[in-house]
A and B are shown apart, each in its own frame.
Chain A
Amino acid sequence: MLRFAVRRALLAIITLLILVAIIFMLTRVFPSDPARQLAGPFAPQERVDAIAAANGFNDPLTTQFGRLLKSVVTFDYGDSFSSPGESVISLVVPALKKSAQLVFFALFLTLPIAIIGGIIAARKKDTLLDRLIVTLGLASASIPEFVSGVLLQYILGVRLGWFPAISNVPDNAGILTTLDYLVLPALSILIVYFGYIARITRAGTIAALEADYTRTAFMKGLTTSQVMRKHVLRNSLQPTVAVTGTQIGYLFGGLVGLEIVFNYPGLGRLTFTAATKQDFPLLTACVITVAIIFMITTLLADLIIAWMNPRARLNLGE
Chain B
Amino acid sequence: MIDWLFEPGLFVNHSVLTAMGVGAVVATVSAVVGIFTVLRGQSFAGHALTDVATAGGAGAFLAGLAPLAGFVGGGVVGAGAMDVIGVQRVKGRDIATGVVLGAATGLAALFLYLSTTHSSATGTTQLILFGSIFTVSSSTLPEVVIASVVVLIIVAAIGRPLLLSSLSAELASARGVRLRAVGLAFMVVLAISVGLSAIVIGSILSTALLIGPPASALKVVGRVGLGVVVSVLLGVGATVLGIVLAYDSYYWFPSHRGLPVSFFVVVVVVAEFVAASVLQRSRRTRAPATRPTTLAVTSGGH
Partners in one complex: no
Binding site for A on B (CB under 8 A): none
Binding site for B on A (CB under 8 A): none
